[in-house]
A and B are shown apart, each in its own frame.
Chain A
Amino acid sequence: MSATARLLAQGLGPGRPLRVLAASGQLGYGVPEAALKAGIARAPHFIGCDMGSIDVGPYYLGAGKLATTEVVTKRDLRLVLKAAVGLGVPLLIGTAGTAGAAPHLARTRAFIHEIAEEEGLSFRMATIHADMPRALLREMAAAGRTRPLGRIAALDPATIDRAAHIVGQMGTEAFIRALRTEPDVILAGRACDTAIFAAIPQMLGYAPGPATHMAKIIECTSICCTPGGRDAILGTLENESFVLESMNPARAATPVSVAAHSLYEQADPLHVHEPDGAVDLSAARYERLDDRRTRVSGATWQPTLRSTIKVEGAEWCGERAVLLAGSCDPRVIENAEAIIRGVRANVADIMPPDPARPYELFFHVYGKGATSLFAAVPAAAEEIFFLVEVIAPTMETAHSAASVTKQYLLHHGFPGRLSTGGNIAFPFTPPELPVGSAYRFSIYHVTECDDLASVFPVEVETIGAG
């Protein structure tokens, strides 16, 4: 009997407490083991882990690579696989391999196969793919059924074609479809963080408002506590309410700390949008149960009439090389803007840009406001740092531009210059370094969808001896 079949046979449902263990909000950075063990001892009905995020930037989605290392990723996967198989409960993993596109899913799946073999584990695994069919997306864009999720251009066919990878965020529908195949483990591509934890409650008939609210909080594990941290958290869903308890005794889920979590990385703290509806938190109540536990209720669910999918895509935009150097000369600091203008002219002279395939030179001058996205300039520093970034069609061009910039920045003459030995200090050589391919998010849109099942297909396999 599979873990899912066992779960479904327990007669769980509204009024009967459902214990959900959130083991990791970002699998692959090191799951704290003591709290995971404490969570296992509480006999959870299932274990969920989030493994990805868009927050890490466009590189991982574009390049098809994991942000986490093989060693730590396998360590974490091993811990949660052994825990779930040992308890005989379902394990749900969302946004496999950082970004959840085909290469991320394949790599994570290979790790799981290796671990199963090394540990002698056997289980049934459902894999859910999340690569957005391009033809469908083109069709939706042409029909005016897509829209940008902020200040990004409307979706056009060329953007769809250029993207290295495009994923859709699956919701509970895909997980429930996978659960019907009665797996022990679900490995999902790009998924809404909430869907990992809300699918089973929804399948068992728990009220969707509180279930989704609980999912939204526990997907970040103990970040909702004071002090916040990465330890596993146990969410116990009753029906109209749920109770939160960190599996690290040093962390307390208090009414204010839990309520405050609704703000975290959300543009709007009162509404959480899901593919099939939205949670309204305006009437949410947070009650202290004891020093470390809070009961939450009051979230309401508004289903949408038409399913939507949040779509993310990244495209290659060049090869990146950087130059690293500092300066403490007051005249260099004072004249930095003029020096940069001069150096740009020198570089353009030595390497005339090809108008069809230009390279770009960015000067990030730390100590002069380089950290700010807005027009904020902090007080002048006594030491500044030049991070020069080149994005070019080839690494040869990027590296060459960084190299030429280095030499001209070092020796650029300007009125009032005293330090004719050099304007900048290099922390090491070579100070100009090839970084690799650069990507940018080209798609961050929402599309309507008439057939979710075709976008998020499920594949089932038996791993190990059985």
Chain B
Amino acid sequence: MYGYSILRMSEQPNITVPGEKLTDIAQVIRSKNAGPLHVTLDVMFPDRPSYERARQSPALAAEAIARLYKVEPAFVSVIPYSAAHAIKVTIDRPIVAGTPGDADVYGAQQHLLLLGIVL
């Protein structure tokens, strides 16, 4: 693995640093509703290299996010947005915002699981 990383790094300077935590490099990790049927999570980075390292990490792929949030992969989309050095993750809400039984009407506290991501 180590040798592989060295080889890749020579080709691609932005390759993920093994063991790097998302919270070590992200400037913003936030969540909010995008309408009452979706929660959207924004992970924003201070610069291009950190954004690129995160973007290339399998830990931020839609399948990995689906496993982390224990939802079907079809309910997750991941959109990298280079203009803002940001990665957007959108997940279908399991309950429509504000319906009795909802836990977070604004969807502003659904980012916790992202805080534990190792890239």
Contacts and interface: CB of A to CB of B under 8 A. Distances in A.
B49 interface: no
B59 interface: no
B6 interface: no
B98 A371 contact: no
B98 A57 contact: yes
A376 interface: yes
B25 to A, nearest CB: 16
Contact of B107 (A269, A373, A439): A373
A284 B70 CA distance: 35
A360 B71 CA distance: 25
Contact of B100 (A262, A320, A373): A320
A260 interface: yes
B109 interface: yes
B96 interface: yes
Q: Is the interface of A mostly helix, strand, loop or mixed?
A: loop
Given A57-B97, A268-B79, A269-B88, A152 B37 contact: yes
A58 B96 CA distance: 10
Contacts, number: 135
Contact of B34 (A260, A267, A270, A360): A267
A440 B37 CA distance: 12
Nearest to A298: B83
Contacts of B101: 360, 362, 389
Interface residues of B, number: 45
A348 interface: no
A281 B109 CA distance: 28
B40 interface: yes
Interface string A19-62: 00000000000000000000000000000000000111111000
Contacts of B34: 265-267
B32 A264 contact: yes
A373 B94 contact: yes
Contact of A372 (B75, B77, B98, B103): B103
10 contacts: A59-B98, A151-B75, A151-B96, A267-B40, A320-B100, A371-B112, A373-B95, A376-B69, A441-B96, A444-B37
